[in-house]
A and B are shown apart, each in its own frame.
Chain A
Amino acid sequence: MTTDFFSNLTVADAAHEYIFHREGMGAVATANGVEATDSIFMFIFWISTVVFVALMGAMVYWTFKYRRRPGTIAQASPSHNTILELAWSIVPLGFFVYMFFEGFHGYISRLVIPPDAIQLQLVGRKWSWSVTYPNGAETPVQQKVGASNVPVFYVPEDKPVMFRMVSADVMHAFWVPDFRTKMDVLPNRYTAYWFKPERLDVSSTGTLEDGTRYRDHFVFCAEYCGDMHSEMAAIIRVVPEAHYLATITKWNDAVDPVELGRRQWAAKCASCHTVDGGANTGPTWKGLFGRGHSFTDGSSYTPEQMSNPEFFANYIRESIVDPGKRVVAGYPNQMPPMGGQLTEAQINGIIEYIKTLK
């Protein structure tokens, strides 16, 4: 459970097994590699604490003991000691070598992807994440985190899962703090992120409406990517494998265009466009059909034009594939072209969905 110090938000019902908390409470790790990372971190922590306390103890004690007194000068003492100096160079080096190999071991285990991992396609863009499942499905589920709606990605428990990641624009980084690892998402090549969520246990799970247990983990973008960088979050929801399979199959069922559009909105548009009239980076979709528009280049569309279904459809399509062509006055030109990431059916779905938002 999260601890909301000033609770006014519905935040993810996430596990949040922080390093100190997990080590201190002895809670189970949330994914593979977490225990190894935490234990090397705690090893460094305790070594550092001992060294720090010893050094500062010596510093404070000597500063006090050898404080300047009238009538005294510094006592004679050596200003050089080869054995001591070699010792305090070589002993730390020994610890460093150990830390290096432990870290190397953990790093490699994070990079080598098991051959049986479920491969999901992940796209990062300003400012949202989307995941395509092996059967082509995308998540329609979203949850409010802060002021934004973020997508919820379902993954099965106790199975290796791999994201093949690419960015649609600038650099992003995919970080799940609970999994203790992150990887940059680059615009010109694939990078990979894999994890194997531990089994769900009673202590750290929530329950879905149908009684299925689950565990949530926050995803944050960790590479600065612009205005809404801090809103670029997502939630990874670990569920039993059967529920996972059923869910992605259900998501992929043939749906009517409006529902298809709503799902695309939830997955790719919700971080910037609200459907309830609220303000956000882009114009709200509520009442868009039939609403007159003024654009930053001085041109404008009348309510009559925007009520014409064919005119309206063309405008929305243009706004998706070439968003910089006509920017609604009062909004920044920040939307990346989305044409390559949506099928014709999905674009049509979005148009039909917007029409329903009265």
Chain B
Amino acid sequence: MASIDNRNANTIGAAAGHGHGGGHHDEGSYLSSRGGLIATIWDWATTIDHKKIGVMYLSAVLMMFFFGGVAALAVRTELLEPVRNPSEGVVTGQWLGSFLGVESTNIAKNNQHYNRVFTLHGAIMVFMVIIPSVPAALGNFFIPILIGAKDVAFPRLNLLSWYIYVTGSIFGVLAILLGGVDTGWTFYTPYSTTTDADQMRVVYMVLAAFILGFSSILTGLNFVVTVHKLRAPGMGWFDMPLFVWAVYATSILQVLATPVIGITLLLLIFERLFRVGIFDPGLGGDPVLFQHFFWFYSHPVVYVMILPGMAIINEIIPVHAHKKIFGYRSMAFASLGIAAVSFLVWGHHMFTSEGELAATVFSALTFLVAVPTAVKVFNWVGTLYKGSISMTPPMVYALMFLFLFTIGGLTGLPLATLSTDMHLHDSYFVVAHFHYVMMGGTIIAFVGGLHHWWPKMFGRMYNNRAAIIFALVQFVGFNVTFFTQFVLGTRGMPRRYASYVDEFQLLHQISTVGSYILAVGFTGSLAVFVHSLLAGKKAPQNPWGGLTLEWHIESPPTTHNFHKEPIVHHGPYDFDTVLPPGWDPEDYPVPNAREQAAAYARAAHSHVGHEKH
């Protein structure tokens, strides 16, 4: 095929696209099992295949997403009602309280349930879903394939990362089973060092975040080395798919920033257990110090969460618009630029902490991050211009991402502006803003990426129409849920409130209804995937007509991905000069086929034939 040297034509020719899974291959799909149930389980548990590890991460992330989602629905259901006078028999927390068997008249006890559930939602979604979702699940599966490698640089380290993730999650679940944690996912001191002082739950939850951090560090390290050392012959830095660029930038952030939170969380545990005064002023510490430490990690991590989401959109849009991405280099540099500046903006979480002049520096730097982010959005929309756009489910998710992420980005502006942030900080405006970015951005991109690569990962197609319908349900539900929260925030609704003044009730009720619609949408997507696994049509090698390397191999891939080491001759998005592998004039008649064929011939017969970008 076009991108591959002639020597490999026997395995990656057009014929392979049609004769998927043919018996002439020397090895089977990575999914095929070699024995009974126990042997299969043992095989998965000890695998060092990056694809199996990716699939295991995927199932864990989806399970955690379910738990976090249930917690979110509980929070929204609780907020249907503002506080009521106990003498009238209804108080906030009543719904959760009755579910958990608590008398309905004790406001504090019922609030405790609310506070534990929103902490649960935040901690699960941040530490166990969003951070590992794209890099650990999809990244593990596709980074090696996209650069033409058999596996990551350190496959055993990769398996270790997975077990560290599992260990961390177990501590998190333990903290929840022991009664939950009410610190919020941010663990602000001195509240977090004094609440439930006689219990170990907070320590377990902090320990969970600490352990999960090591999983991030090791995965990041693995990807950095993999990208540096294992690219296929012919793949220069600027021939890499943009997904790889963005995950590479993410990995650098993870390696550099995560140790800071590790140390911070250890200090927090020391203070709780041994009463060493670091953050608690009662012991001679400084509570604002914790915020500095925490956000020095957690702001870069905001980009650890969003950059991989952007990474997926970088792949979906050119493939499904069948057009070269606009501004490849500015996209790559934007990823690195965002990653670099993200280390310098942590103070924008603390504009109202003390009213320091230093806040102005952080405000200015924050606006600086907005520039490469805006450039990325312009590039994506620019890519659509004169494309040939298929409205496939992944493309629908990508367009949803553009809509939601643009709102998320623009609503960051009044939060970066010092004077307006003094009003909006810690309000529902912030809640809506980061949900538009984290959920409308990363989660929607993640689900879109899952649709994009699902046929490759599991070798099955799904029902396109049903997938699009549920995507649109999610889109409607998302906006109903979170757009109302912008209005609530500007009106004065503080975040993390179990109860609120009456005038906010209508908006809260609309938001709750939206969250139910969202739940229907995600349940539907799950059903689409389950149906695909059980009864889906076999996926062809290249269902969307992509040019990157994963579309040159079988669906699902064989254990070693490639039968021979691939050699790359063109850029990942050279749709103007190269035809997709498996391209069939019957399927996609091209009017200027002669021109295309000539370009294809040039590329195929030249060993230095990859185009400039």
Contact = CB atoms under 8 A, between A and B. Distances in A.
A221 interface: yes
B399 interface: yes
Contacts of B600: none
A96 B371 contact: yes
Interface in A210-225: 218, 220-225
A321 interface: no
> Which of A73, A148, A279 has most B Cβ within 10 Å?
A73
Interface in B347-390: 351-355, 359-360, 363-364, 367-368, 370-371, 374-375, 377-378, 381-390
Interface string B61-100: 0000000000000000000001111111001100000000
Contact of A175 (B387, B426, B490): B426
A55 B377 contact: yes
Interface residues on A, range: 35 or more
A145 B590 CA distance: 69
A58 B410 CA distance: 17
B418 interface: yes
Interface stretch (B500-508, B523-531, B554-562): B500-508
B432 to A, nearest CB: 14
A74 B596 CA distance: 12
Nearest to B383: A79
Interface stretch (A103-111, A236-244, A339-347): A103-111
Nearest to B574: A79
B427 A100 contact: no
A44 B378 CA distance: 19
A75 interface: yes
Given A74-B386, A230-B111, A6 B505 contact: yes
A85 B426 contact: no
B419 A106 contact: yes
Interface string B322-338: 11111111100000000
B363 A100 contact: yes
Contacts of B384: 58-59, 62-63, 66
B238 interface: no
Contact of A88 (B108, B287, B378, B422): B378
B402 interface: yes
A170 B324 contact: no
A56 B382 CA distance: 11
A215 to B, nearest CB: 15
B543 interface: no
A182 B352 contact: yes
B328 A79 contact: yes
A104 B375 contact: no
Given A74-B386, A187-B287, A177 B423 contact: yes
B458 interface: no
A86 B328 CA distance: 14
A276 to B, nearest CB: 9
Interface in B472-487: none
Interface in A144-174: 144-148, 169-171, 173
Nearest to A183: B352
B538 interface: no
Given A5-B502, A92-B374, A188-B286, A107 B86 contact: no
A217 to B, nearest CB: 10
B84 A182 contact: no
B425 A222 contact: yes
Nearest to B573: A79
Given A67-B391, A147-B107, A228-B108, A186 B354 contact: yes
Interface string A48-82: 10011001101100110011111111111101100
Interface in B391-433: 391, 399, 402-403, 406-407, 410-411, 413-414, 416-423, 425-427
A233 B493 CA distance: 12
B494 A222 contact: yes
B22 interface: no
Main secondary structure of the interface of A (DSSP, over half): mixed
A169 B197 CA distance: 14
Contacts of A192: 355
Contact of A80 (B84, B194, B355, B613): B613
Interface string A273-310: 00000111100000000000000000000000000000
A73 B108 contact: no
B191 A171 contact: yes
A334 interface: yes
A41 interface: yes
A226 interface: yes
A227 interface: yes
Contact of A183 (B88, B355, B391, B416): B355
Given A146-B499, A186-B354, A188-B287, A52 B406 contact: yes
A11 interface: yes
A36 interface: yes
A180 B492 CA distance: 9
B325 A79 contact: yes
Contacts, number: 352
Contacts of B410: 48, 51-52
A89 B107 contact: no
Contacts of A102: 417, 419
Contact of A76 (B92, B287, B576): B576
Given A184-B354, A186-B354, A223 B426 contact: yes
B20 interface: no
Interface stretch (B182-190, B258-266, B448-456, B513-521): B182-190
B287 A85 contact: no
Contacts of B274: none
Contacts of B382: 84
A349 interface: no
A158 B231 CA distance: 69
A51 to B, nearest CB: 7
Contacts of B328: 79-80
A88 B389 CA distance: 24
Contact of A106 (B377, B386, B418): B418
Nearest to B115: A227
B237 interface: no
B111 to A, nearest CB: 5
Given A147-B107, A230-B498, A182 B375 contact: no
A226 B496 CA distance: 10
Contacts of B385: 58, 62, 66, 77
Interface stretch (A12-20, A201-209, A251-259, A262-270): A12-20
A218 B492 contact: yes
A74 B385 CA distance: 9
B167 interface: no
Contacts of B47: none
A68 B323 CA distance: 11
Contacts of B403: 56, 59
List the 3 closest A-B pairs by CB distance, nearest first.
A106-B419, A177-B492, A188-B281
Interface of B: 82-88, 91-92, 105-109, 111-112, 115, 182, 184, 188, 190-191, 194-195, 281-282, 286-288, 321-330, 351-355, 359-360, 363-364, 367-368, 370-371, 374-375, 377-378, 381-391, 399, 402-403, 406-407, 410-411, 413-414, 416-423, 425-427, 490-492, 494-503, 505-506, 573, 575-576, 588-592, 596, 613
Given A111-B355, A224-B191, 17 more contacts: A8-B85, A73-B388, A79-B325, A79-B326, A89-B374, A100-B364, A110-B355, A110-B419, A173-B426, A177-B423, A186-B281, A186-B287, A187-B282, A227-B115, A229-B115, A230-B497, A281-B106
Interface of A: 2-9, 11, 16, 18-20, 33, 36-37, 40-41, 44-45, 47-48, 51-52, 55-56, 58-59, 62-63, 66-77, 79-80, 84-85, 88-89, 92-93, 96-97, 99-100, 102-107, 109-111, 144-148, 169-171, 173, 175, 177-178, 180-184, 186-189, 191-192, 218, 220-231, 233, 272, 278-281, 332, 334
15 contacts: A2-B501, A48-B410, A71-B591, A79-B573, A85-B378, A96-B371, A97-B367, A100-B367, A146-B84, A147-B107, A147-B499, A171-B191, A188-B287, A229-B497, A332-B108
